[in-house]
Structures are given as C-alpha cells and as structure tokens.
Structure 1
C-alpha cells in the first residue's frame, strides 16, 4: 500500500444485525493521516460501522478494505490485520487486577517476543505520550475517569498501529477530561503518523480536531465533508442533529428510523 492509498475504503456497504437492516449504501474513503469524525445520534449505526471495519460484522453486501486489503473472514488473517488497528473502547476495557503499566504491556507480551527490558521501555514511552508516566504503578480503581481513558489509549497504541479507532472516547468524561483526550487524539495522530477514526455523538468537542466529518442517520451517510461545511450546512436533517432539535427528519423512535430512506448530502 502506498502513502496515497486510503487506509479505509468502503463501497456499497449494507450491514444487518439480527435480521434488521442497520446501514445501507454506505460509501466512505478515509485518507491516510487524517482525523475523521463519524457522527450521528445514539443508535444510528456508528458502532455497527466500526464492527465492519474491524471484521467483527460481515457485510450483507458491498466491500470493506482496510490497510490496503479486503477485511478477511479467515480468523488467522483477521487477527493479523487487527494488529494494525488500535481500538479505544467506550468502557476502556482495563483489567482491574493489573497496574496501568501492566495493562499497556499486555498487547506487547501477547503479540511480540520482545525481551522484558524492551517492553518496559516501550510501556514507559506510551504512558509518557499520554502524560501518565508517573501513574505506571497505579491500578485502574486508583485512576480518575480521564486518566483511565488515557491508559486505555496508551494500551491501544502499544503496537504502533497505523489506524486508530475511537469508539465514543468521551463517554462519562467531564469537559476538562474531554478536552485533554481530544487534544491527545489530534497530537498523537500527527506526531505518530497515524490515521484516526473517531466515532462519537459529541459534535462540538470533536469537530475542532477533525479534518473530515461524516454524519450517519436514518440508515445511511447523510453528510460527508469538512467540519466547516458541516457547521455551515442548512440541510434540515443535519441541522436537527447539530442543534439537538427533538422534532425533524431524524425520528426519535429507532424502529421508525430504519424504515426511512437516507437523505444524502455531500459537501467538499
């Protein structure tokens, strides 16, 4: 894969769960080096899209390419692909009986044969990158919510993945911790030469650090463009989401939403 190739390419994607269509006709290209915000109301299918990118959910139709190859169905090949994808989960996923350093070291001990001194050095570097080197010996219960989220981020970065995926990274965080995490997303993306996909419904905290914004609603992509174009949009569906309006083209009832056709809007 050359540097000009997109790190994620999705074409004609349809995703179903439990016999119900969640997303359809999804086309998305994620260029290398960018921070792409995938926005939308809760339950709109954002996490379902992530499941397709990481290979947890097979498409009903269409194609998903990640890191220059189709997402494989073979388990061994899929595990190999996932080594190049760092994922920050909503709930952090830290093991409570391990220290911060031990949590960060876990992927390195599982997927590499590096000697202990090298792993210890890499762990210290990752914790330093998220501003938590002094918390190496702390257990998750001793950390604030924002600190625990940053430890989870350090762990996701342990294998130096070219692609980072953030699934609702601001859930449960106060405004200050949210600002710290989003600043880290931008700085780490640029300094480590990564590409980042941030899936969230926190619009105002995410758009300032994003290069590109995608809005998912009513079963499909309804906007794709720059953050500036998104904020300037007059499309009723986009405005309902951005302004938090209870009434509009996005139904509050999720059952009704999946029966509606997506209204697509593109902006350069």
Structure 2
C-alpha cells in the first residue's frame, strides 16, 4: 500500500440491518498516521460502521476499502485482512483463566510460528508499551478496570497492526483511567506509526487526542472536521450532542428496536 493511500476509504456507503437502513451516504477518508474520532449518541450506528470496517457486515451499497483494498467477503481473504487490524472491544474479551501475559500471547500463538522464547519477549514488550510489564502474571480478576483495558490493548497490538480500531474504549472507566487510556492511544499512535479510529460517545475525553472528528446521527454523518471546528460549530444538532441536551434535532427514541445499532 502506497504511503499516500488512505488506510480507510468509505464511498457512498449504505449499511442495513434487518431490512432497515442504519447509515446511508457515508463518505470518509482516514489518512495514515491520524486518529479519527467517530462520535454519536447511542443507537446512531457507530458500531454498525465498525462492523463494516472489520468485514462483519457487508455493505448494502457503496464501497469499503481498508488497508488499500476492498474488504473481502471470502472468509480466508477476510482473515488475512483482519491480521492487519487491531480491535479493542468494549468488554475487553480477556480470558479469565489466563494471565495477562498469556492473553497477550494468544494472537501470536494463533497466527505465527514464532518460538516460545520470542513470543515471551514480544509479550513483555507489548505489556511494557501499555505500562503493565509488572502485571504479566496477574489474572484479569486481579486487575482494575483500567488495567484490564490496557492488557486488552496490548493484546490488540500483538501482531503490530497498522490500523487500530477502538470500540467504546472508555466504557466503565473512571475519569483517571479514561485519561490514561486516551493518552496511551495518542502515544502509541505516534510512537508505533499507527492509524487509529476511536468509536465512542465520550466526546470530551476523546477530542483532545483526535486529529479529525465525525459525528453520526439521524442515519448519516452530520459533521466532519477538526476537533476545534467541532467545538466551534453552531449547528443545533452538533450542539445538542456536545452539550447533552435532551431536546433538539436528535430525537430521543424510547420505542423498542428489533436490532441494536449502538
């Protein structure tokens, strides 16, 4: 992939679930080395967009390009693409009967033929990168929420992916732990030459580390620009979201929905 090729490019993308359009008319270009915050209220379709990036959801129409090529539908080709993606899940996904080091080692054991000694060295390097080398032998139940999130981050980085995707990385974390995680996102992005997409509704914690922000609401992108432009926006919809106002252009949907699209 050429250095000037966007690491992600979405073109006139339409995504549907259960026969209903969730997002439509999505255009997005993510340049290499950047951190892009994908913001929006719960149920706006942020996680649906993430599913398209990882190949879990095929587009109803339009195009999804990741790492310089169309996201494939064939399972083997999709597996190869996913090796270049690091995904930090909301619930961490750590295996409770494995230590922190053993959890980080999982992708290396599954996708490489490296000797155990090399894997152990790489695992300690990844844990050191997130400030948890001393916790290598601890089990998930012995870690705080913020520490567990950082172990999950180390595991997501195990295969040195060029693209990191964070799915609500601050869910359940206190303000201090949130600050630690977002500071790590920025530092790792810069020192490891990553590109990061942060899917979140935590605006004020995320914007300070982001290079670009988009806001998803009402089935599409309602804002795209720098964090400074977002905070200066006079758009009533953007202001409602930033200020957490209950009334405004973004409707509060109290009706039950057949499919969750958070």
Give the aligned partner of residue 230 of structure 2. Answer: 230
Tell me how far 1:243 sits from its aligned partner. Answer: 0.6
SS where residue 57 of structure 2 aligns? coil
TM-score (norm: length of structure 2): 0.97
CA distance in 2, matches of 1:244, 1:20: 27
Matches within 5 A, 1:45-124: 45-124=45-124
Tell me how far 1:254 sits from its aligned partner. Answer: 6.6
CA distance in 1, matches of 2:254, 2:114: 48
Give the aligned partner of residue 171 of structure 1. Answer: 171
Structure 2 stretches lacking a partner, 5+ long = 258-262
CA distance in 2, matches of 1:165, 1:253: 27
1:188-224 Cα distance to aligned partner (Å, 9 max, x none): 0000000000000000000000000000000000000
CA distance in 2, matches of 1:149, 1:174: 12
Give the aligned partner of residue 260 of structure 2. Answer: none
User: Quick check: 1:206 aligned with 2:206?
Assistant: yes
CA distance in 2, matches of 1:156, 1:204: 24
Q: 1:131 to 1:55 in 2, by over 3 A?
A: same
Matches within 5 A, 1:1-268: 1-253=1-253
Tell me how far 1:255 sits from its aligned partner. Answer: 6.2
CA distance in 2, matches of 1:135, 1:244: 38
CA distance in 2, matches of 1:111, 1:146: 27
CA distance in 2, matches of 1:256, 1:138: 41
CA distance in 1, matches of 2:214, 2:256: 22
Structure 1 stretches lacking a partner, 5+ long = 258-268
CA distance in 2, matches of 1:255, 1:161: 40
SS where residue 48 of structure 1 aligns? helix
CA distance in 1, matches of 2:27, 2:255: 23
Tell me how far 1:20 sits from its aligned partner. Answer: 1.4
1:93-140 Cα distance to aligned partner (Å, 9 max, x none): 000000000000000000000000000000000000000000000000
CA distance in 1, matches of 2:19, 2:169: 29
Provide the aligned length of Structure 1 versus Structure 2.
257
Aligned residues: CA RMSD = 1.2
Q: 1:256 to 1:234 in 2, by over 3 A?
A: farther
Tell me how far 1:256 sits from its aligned partner. Answer: 11
CA distance in 1, matches of 2:242, 2:175: 18
Larger deviation: 61-70 or 248-257?
248-257
Tell me how far 1:147 sits from its aligned partner. Answer: 0.2
SS where residue 108 of structure 1 aligns? helix
SS where residue 246 of structure 2 aligns? coil
Could you say which structure has the greater relative contact order, defined with CA pairs below 8 angstroms and 6 or more residues apart?
A: 2
Whether contact under 8 Å (1:43, 1:254) holds in the other structure is no
Tell me how far 1:19 sits from its aligned partner. Answer: 1.4
